[in-house]
Amino acid sequence: MERNSKIYVAGHNGLVGSAICRRLKSDGYGNLITRAHSQLDLCNEKDVNDFFAETKPEYVFLAAAVVGGIHANDTRPVDFLRDNLLIQTNIIEAAYRNGVKKLAFLGSTCIYPRDCPQPIKEEYLLTGSLEETNQWYAIAKIAGIKLCQAYRKQYGFNAISLMPTNLYGPGDNFDLLSSHVLPALIRKFHEGKINNTKEVVVWGSGKPFREFLYIDDMAEACCFLMQHYNDESIVNIGTGKDVSIRELADLIKEIVGFQGNIVFDSSKPDGTTKKVIDVTKLNSLGWQSKTSLSAGIGTTYDWYLRNQ
Ligand code: GDP
């Protein structure tokens, strides 16, 4: 990518897309193209093709997708399967047809088999059964990866697929029912502090381990791989380090400044006991995450205070 390259970020209002836009702008890329959902329906093949024919982007970050937690996946399977298949198929096809030089497709580490050995290596994709609750999303994303590989094989189209771990940061979803654990705990401890409550309830046993990547690190990795990686095989993006939910809760409690106690609600599910990815490939390509968990939580909490 050159500083004046035309770059289309699909999904620029989402957590990932907005961070990629921030990163590109701060690196001096001034020729960004974005379209809000109300301006362009990515499920509509003709509209997407017309948009590409009109704007002729040179590089594409495909960060647009229907996303959500366990409950959303379970209750809206058609949206997660059909819409994601349409969005990615329309964009990849239009990008290829309209002479895009390179496309980066965003997968997710939650599409690896449910019972993967840990840490999860790239080659474990499609080696076992999926987690049933997010199978709709996973099948669509796996099809997206295969589509990138197919366009490369049949047409020589430079499409790469990236696999981010659990992400967090400014712009996250803080809704207690649909959010992931990190933003949920920031909100719970903050409300506990403000209301001077004696305790904050953390779901499950606190024993499961999870990996968290700060969203601006993720955006930096995406831009790095757009510049330096040109292969069909997928690349994990993460820190390679995990923490227990108990350690995470202690850390967020301290950063937020909540004075009360943490109570674990064992009636709530723990989910997978451990989920951490192998980032050897990413590291050997020359990229490592920089933001410590405590610094990232601090910045995310500041954002929450300004935007709640
Ligand atoms: P997962 O990584 O797909 O399991 O998604 P989550 O981020 O929702 O949950 C991760 C772990 O954090 C699970 O063991 C949850 O039980 C635990 N957890 C503890 N408190 C909360 C909370 O307030 N909200 C959420 N979403 N998870 C919590």
Single pTM value for the model:
0.95
pLDDT for 238: 98
Query: Which of 168, 180, 199, 266 most suits a substitution to test ligand 1, by most atoms within 8 Å of the C-beta?
Result: 180
The helix/strand/coil state of 256 is helix
- The C-alpha atoms of residue 179 and residue 166 are separated, in whole angstroms, by 12
State the distance from the centre of ligand 1 to the C-alpha of 302, rounded, in angstroms. 22
Q: What residue type is 152 in one-letter code?
A: R
Cα–Cα distances in angstroms (integers) from residue 179 to residues 34, 58, 70, 106, 134, in the given order = 26, 34, 10, 20, 15
CA-nearest residue for atom 8, ligand 1, is 180
What's the sign of the alpha-carbon dihedral 223, 80, 307, 293? negative
Give me the tens of pLDDT residue by residue for the chain, a chain 308 residues long.
999 999 999 999 999 999 999 999 999 999 999 999 999 999 999 999 999 999 999 999 999 999 887 778 888 999 999 999 999 999 999 999 999 999 999 999 999 999 999 999 999 999 999 988 889 999 999 999 999 999 999 999 999 999 999 999 999 999 988 888 999 999 999 999 999 999 999 999 999 999 999 999 999 999 999 999 999 999 999 999 999 999 999 999 999 999 999 999 999 988 888 889 999 999 999 999 999 999 999 999 999 999 98
CB of residue 187 inside a 6 A radius of ligand 1: no
Strands 261-265 and 102-106: unpaired
Token couple for 198: 């004696």
210 touches ligand 1 (CB under 6 Å): yes
What token pair was written down for 64?
């647009």
The CATH classification number of 7-171+211-241+277-291 equals: 3.40.50.720
In a mutational test of the pocket of ligand 1, which residue from 203, 247, 250, 265 has the highest number of ligand atoms less than 8 Å from its CB? 203
Q: Is there an atom of ligand 1 within 6 Å of 231 CB?
A: no
Task: Look at residue 179 in the predicted model and tell me its pLDDT.
Answer: 87
Distance 303 CA to ligand 1 centre (A): 21
Please state, as a whole number, how many other Cβ atoms lie within 10 Å of the Cβ of residue 39.
9
> Of 60, 59, 89, 230, whose CA–CA distance to 160 is shortest?
230
Residues annotated as part of the active site: 137
Q: What pLDDT is attached to residue 45?
A: 98
CB of 208 sitting under 6 A from ligand 1: yes
The pLDDT of residue 308 is 85
